[in-house]
Amino acid sequence: MTDLIARPYWYLRHGETDWNAQGRSQGRTDIPLNQTGIRQAEAAGLLLAKHWHDHAPIVRIVSSPLIRARRTAEIVADQLAANGAPRLAIALDDGLKEVCFGDEEGKPMGTWYDSWIAGDYTPANGESFADLRERAVSAVNRALEKDGVPLIVCHGAMFRALRSAMHLKPNVRLPNATPMWAEPGPTPVWNLTALS
């Protein structure tokens, strides 16, 4: 099992989509942001610009290539640049794609989700939580290997996998477009701080 490199990073789940609002499993289905999601991404960019020096400044943005994450990253980069931060390029990493929920995609989130995180169930044609965790850690580690602090723009299930790798309770929902500062603590348990 791969461990996260013990370096801090920013994490941002994409803004809302219609499927988020409807409580449907998205997974790899490439659903765009809705108008609420666009506003959330703009607000997240403004928050990050306002708190630019509270933690370590972002030196690069690494995003999932799925449109809801990629568009969120673009909006955040625009907001940062419009508010005095440097104009940051966005790198895409296929390893940051959301989990494949297989046959559950497009359906309402069900009672199977807890069992999936526990490792007792994997949706037909889907990805196990253990495989997701390994992929998520590897992708974030690629971003952490370079100098400076990255902003990872990604997905909800991906953050649950990263929470597991940070020795935190994994099944905690991260609201859409909430900037999260993640830093290693003195023990294996990481510290998370949400901007609001």
110-134 pLDDT tens trace: 889 999 999 999 999 999 999 999 9
Taking only the tens place, the pLDDT of each residue in 144-171 is 999 999 999 999 999 999 999 999 999 9
Q: Is 131 annotated as a binding residue?
A: no
Q: Is 18 annotated as a binding residue?
A: yes
CATH number 3.40.50.170 given to 10-142+167-194: no
Can you give the pLDDT at residue 46?
96
Find tokens 């929470």 and name the residue.
163
> Cα separations (Å) of 149 from 52, 55, 168?
12, 10, 21
Distance, CA of 192 to CA of 190 (rounded, Å): 7
- Please check the confidence at residue 74 and state whether its pLDDT lies above 80: yes
Q: Is 39 annotated as a binding residue?
A: no
What's the whole-model pTM score?
0.96
Catalytic machinery residues? 14, 98
DSSP secondary structure code for residue 83 in this structure: T
Where in the chain are the domains? 10-142+167-194
* Tokens standing for residue 60: 């690069």
Q: Is 103 annotated as a binding residue?
A: no
Distance, CA of 113 to CA of 26 (rounded, Å): 13
Burial class (CB in 10 A: 0-12, 13-18, 19+), 117: buried
* Tokens standing for residue 137: 């850690």
Q: Find the distance separating the first CA and the last CA of the chain, reported in whole Å.
A: 33
Contact call for residues 180 and 158 (beta carbons, < 8 A): no
